Amino acid sequence: MDILTNRSKNDFAPLPPMGWNSYDYYDTTVDEAALMRNAAYMAEHLKEYGWEYVVADIQWYAHDPGSQRERFQYIPFGELELDEWGRLLPDPKRFPSSAGGAGFKPLADYVHSLGLKFGIHIMRGIPRIAAHLHLPVAYDNPVTRERLAACPEAGFPPCPERGLNAADVADPASVCGWNPDMYGVGALAEGQVYYDSLLSLYASWGVDFIKCDDICNTNLYPHRPYSARHEVEMLSRAIRHCGRDTVLSLSPGPALIEEAWHYETYANMWRITDDFWDDWRLLKDMFKRCQLWQSHVSRGCYPDCDMLPLGVLGKGFGRERNTNFTWEEQRTMMTLWCLFGSPLMLGAELTKLDKRTLTLLTNSAVLAMRDPRFRPRQLRLTEFEAVWTASDASGEICPDDKNSTLYVALFNLSDEKRRVSVPLAECGVRLSHGALCLRDLWEDTLLQTRELLQAELAPHACAAYRLL
């Protein structure tokens, strides 16, 4: 019953989410001014094309992050900002509007005033320092209180005055291999109370999107790579109890295909790769990953190809730089992400986008492929080329039928110029008399063909078409 209820309410993102995430440019060092600056740019230049989420990525709660970047990405035993209930708060030095316990509410209010949505990155679990200090766990979610009152046999005290604290919740044997901030939460009723309190706080701030890390694949434990599955369920239940629609995104990857049903049931997005950067080898590998996950894209549930490393990146990592992707590779990435139905998250400093990059992000014809009604399918993948289609038709497509939509994308994966082709019959088109008309989505031109769709493509380039 719980799973069915979750499925019926797991529809907070009818289209794959689109937005900006601070990680690729700022690493751990994003601050309030940067978030506001990028939100303002998105509202002015990108919102009308569907870009809407502004996400503060990792360690917004840490004091002096990045100050030892030559040694540590995440400072061991670094000071963290906490409330009295052991919940992380924004660092007031970097986020001055959060002072006095305001949390992210003032910043979220600003983002909402622009017609956008606000998101945060979290690590799974509970702060280690909260467990060491035995800080109490809050019962500030009314649904939690009602549930405990109706179920006194739950096995733990029904009020904080009687002793539930972070040490009761934390699992000291469950940690992250690359971040020292948290313990996992045990598979206990107490753990659900903690997550309910966490989401109650986030809802009061106005959080619309949560990217939870070290949970999609707990890769420190190779024999139990989905060891935190119970925490995914706890987060999902807490979202339902908090009273605010909140997209749940799971990181890092690679997600486990054998757990696809679980991701689909309890989350909206899940990473199918480890961190994705501007390396052609990683982009080429995504064709295999997308083929593996192509049948698991549906409304509200999206395998996630990770962020788009476009524009200017890397300041927080110590070296600001332009993306290493060629122009052809940038188009290939956008085409695959859109046709496959992946979420789109930009990592660049938006205010430094050039006009050419902006054309990639505002091509409405390409972005329209993201509709989950258009089921993606890879028809061909070799070392040298790939062919994808996406359609909302249940069978063959007749060109005279204006109620069906078909997209076809041709990709040159080789290092040489190459002609890539596909018979239209292989794409599911029922051939009739006369030529077929297609629109080239990147060049915004029309072309006609009879039986074979083909294109001369530069190395690592692509072409994308819609049947008219």
Give the CA dihedral 365, 370, 373, 375, nearest 10 degrees: 110
% residues pLDDT > 90 (the chain) = 85
- pLDDT at residue 142 in the model: 76
Residue 111 backbone dihedrals phi, psi, to 5 degrees: -60, -45
- pLDDT at residue 139 in the model: 84
Structural domain ending residue among the three candidates 355, 371, 387: 371
Cα–Cα distance for residue pair 413/204, rounded to 1 Å: 47
Arithmetic mean of pLDDT, 80-84: 97
Looking at the fold, whether 361 and 402 belong to one and the same domain comes out as no
Residue 454 backbone dihedrals phi, psi, to 5 degrees: -150, 160
Q: What is the pLDDT of residues 100-156, one digit of tens each?
A: 999 999 999 999 999 999 999 999 999 999 999 999 999 877 777 776 666 655 555
Q: What is the pLDDT of residues 228-246, one digit of tens each?
A: 999 999 999 999 999 999 9
| 3-class DSSP string for 334-345 | HHHHHHHCCCEE
The CATH code of the domain that includes 438 is 2.60.40.1180
Q: What is the pLDDT of residues 382-421, one digit of tens each?
A: 999 999 999 998 777 776 667 789 999 999 999 999 999 9
- pLDDT at residue 296 in the model: 96
Structural domain ending residue among the three candidates 371, 394, 415: 371
Is the CB of residue 297 less than 8 Å from the CB of residue 340?
A: yes
Structural domain ending residue among the three candidates 371, 397, 416: 371
Looking at the fold, whether 387 and 274 belong to one and the same domain comes out as no
Residue 3, pLDDT > 50, answer: no
- pLDDT at residue 1 in the model: 34
Cα–Cα distance for residue pair 272/250, rounded to 1 Å: 10
- pLDDT at residue 149 in the model: 65
Looking at the fold, whether 319 and 419 belong to one and the same domain comes out as no
List, as one string, the DSSP characters of 300-317: TBEEE---B--SEE-GGG
Residue 158, pLDDT > 60, answer: no
Looking at the fold, whether 360 and 453 belong to one and the same domain comes out as no
Looking at the fold, whether 437 and 458 belong to one and the same domain comes out as yes
- Count of structural domains, the chain: 2
Residue 363 backbone dihedrals phi, psi, to 5 degrees: -85, 95
Residue 435, pLDDT > 90, answer: no
pTM: 0.94
Residue 375, pLDDT > 90, answer: yes
Looking at the fold, whether 381 and 329 belong to one and the same domain comes out as no
pLDDT band at residue 164 under the 50/70/90 scheme: confident
Looking at the fold, whether 417 and 299 belong to one and the same domain comes out as no
- pLDDT at residue 163 in the model: 65
Arithmetic mean of pLDDT, 187-215: 96
pLDDT band at residue 7 under the 50/70/90 scheme: very low
- pLDDT at residue 6 in the model: 42
Residue 5, pLDDT > 50, answer: no
State whether residue 195 is helix, strand or coil: helix
Is the CB of residue 310 less than 8 Å from the CB of residue 325?
A: yes
Looking at the fold, whether 298 and 411 belong to one and the same domain comes out as no
The count of residues in the chain is: 468
- pLDDT at residue 400 in the model: 66
Q: What is the pLDDT of residues 344-359, one digit of tens each?
A: 999 999 999 999 999 9
The CATH code of the domain that includes 282 is 3.20.20.70
C-alpha gyration radius of the chain: 23
- pLDDT at residue 84 in the model: 95
- pLDDT at residue 96 in the model: 98
Query: Residue 344 belongs to what domain range?
Result: 2-371
Q: Closest Cα partner for 441 from 404, 391, 407?
A: 407
Looking at the fold, whether 283 and 413 belong to one and the same domain comes out as no
Looking at the fold, whether 287 and 423 belong to one and the same domain comes out as no
Arithmetic mean of pLDDT, 29-40: 98
Looking at the fold, whether 74 and 183 belong to one and the same domain comes out as yes
Looking at the fold, whether 199 and 340 belong to one and the same domain comes out as yes
pLDDT band at residue 4 under the 50/70/90 scheme: very low
Q: What is the pLDDT of residues 269-325, one digit of tens each?
A: 999 999 999 999 999 999 999 999 999 999 999 999 999 999 999 999 999 999 999
